[in-house]
A and B are shown apart, each in its own frame.
Chain A
């Protein structure tokens, strides 16, 4: 069953300039994205910084105002113009952020942090709150005696666990994980990922992994979306994407990542990412694409494909 569905999603941020503060342009952070997430699946949205993946994640849960497009959660269409239309779905669709050091209010105890969502959504009675919070901490591998401590006293990995505990208390259907391990030590990243995977199994939830780490994506996702400059370049099942990338950007991305194999030197991709304020005409990737042809300059190609595989390219690799 499809639980998140977005079509032609655009999140543009106005830029004001000039003497009177008029809108002189837009940062096209998310520029026409189609994305679906099914029950109990792990979907990754991968791309480099500035590609809009974080903006996409926050737009899906209603934290950023969507400019145009359509969205449906749990099958219900939402009125994107009204931020309040997400309210009934807040319980089911949660988000965890990247920086464990700022995602928990430094002045709240862990108990307060965990119990606040329970209270707002009336998950349990007031006197059961403490017990519930203890259980949540245990679920994420932390001791219940931490309830009365403050975020300062914990490491980055532990804080991410607390952030995870905070969201699973609501028993959501999907959790958007916005670069949740990027700020953690390598030796701890795997712990957190494994925790999320086991919670997914236990609770039957879906995970939307937003990350730039392709190796991670390969290890854990069912399906992948590759983003570049606010648009989806390619989407496919994980195995297919990695073994047979069809978009030149995907290919370049895979080749540029250094692996532990010394014989495979990373290949560099020429040029720089264009600015999302000044989106070039035609295919957004042509400036750096080694296969660019004249036809690529007219209009940005649509996402075309069958089944789980689609690619936005006039000359997809085969």
Chain B
């Protein structure tokens, strides 16, 4: 199914233990984080009450269902603490029985609270569980970065590809456009747009993608320029293949090398960018769990070092794993970079 070239590169990547395990670890972590609601939540995964099975995470049950008065959502944690209720029921909570948005105001002392058996990494300045926020924040970060990398790739391929293939006036005018576009201070644009339309995940991804494609387009321009002179392209022309057919069928599959080698580094860029924006307060609106926001809290609450330390560690490990993957990909594509003559 894959060409031999692709299989060779996959094998070389796999042989690089550091990169391969990083990919497995990061991939598994990301996959698990997609189910964050089942890992860190203050609602039980399922419970049995008076003989009926309930799935509180999936469905909304009001207090009334469990013997309460109000129609608001049941507070499962207090139900758990109610001895009487416990006797008639069975609750299975997720491994981290905390919700990132839940403020535990009834804990003794003022937030942020030290790590304890209940809150493994303590709470932040709003008394929310840090570990839960880290997990949800990881998911947000990764999805953002992956989506961003994907959009970057699409824009970069199309624009760079058109430049390289058409050359001439098309190429020159797009180059000038890129020069102007890239001189726009994208941070200000993000802030501006955010203030006008209100920041949101989608808006941030789109606005950032509108600026980040430029780097990849340089590579794609080069690849298309080089590849359009390949003999198999000439052969395809001689056989009567249309220009679109040549662009997509002949050139594009061979032009993807830079896209793949850049992707891990795009992801790193995306994670860093979102974290930076959130840190400055121009990113995702509160109360979203984000690492940047946690970092900000960590900075202002240095006497509560667990916030800063755990967040920094999380960022560091994620970026490190991604870097290993990126290096592994790069080496898989170019094993000869290590060769020397005597």
Contact = CB atoms under 8 A, between A and B. Distances in A.
Chain A bound to chain B? yes
Interface stretch (A91-99, A201-209, A218-226, A301-309): A91-99
B254 A116 contact: no
A120 B235 contact: no
Interface residues of B, number: 19
Contacts of B249: 108, 116
B239 A116 contact: yes
B238 A61 contact: yes
Interface in B243-279: 245, 249-250, 253-254
Nearest to B251: A105
B231 A117 contact: no
A153 B3 CA distance: 10
A107 interface: yes
Contact of B3 (A107, A116, A121, A167): A107
A103 B232 contact: yes
Contact of A94 (B5, B230, B238): B238
Contacts of A117: 239-240
Contacts of A61: 238
A244 interface: no
Chain B interface secondary structure, helix, strand, loop or mixed? helix
Nearest to A153: B4
A124 interface: no
A150 B231 contact: no
Contact of A120 (B3, B230, B240, B254): B240
A90 interface: yes
Nearest to A104: B232
A163 B235 contact: yes
Contacts of B240: 87, 90-91, 117, 120-121
Interface of A: 58, 61-63, 87, 90-91, 94-95, 97, 99, 102-108, 116-117, 120-121, 150, 152-153, 163, 166-167, 170
26 contacts: A58-B234, A62-B238, A63-B237, A90-B239, A90-B240, A91-B240, A95-B235, A102-B231, A103-B231, A103-B232, A104-B235, A105-B232, A105-B250, A105-B253, A105-B254, A106-B5, A107-B3, A107-B254, A117-B240, A120-B240, A120-B245, A150-B4, A150-B5, A152-B4, A152-B5, A170-B239
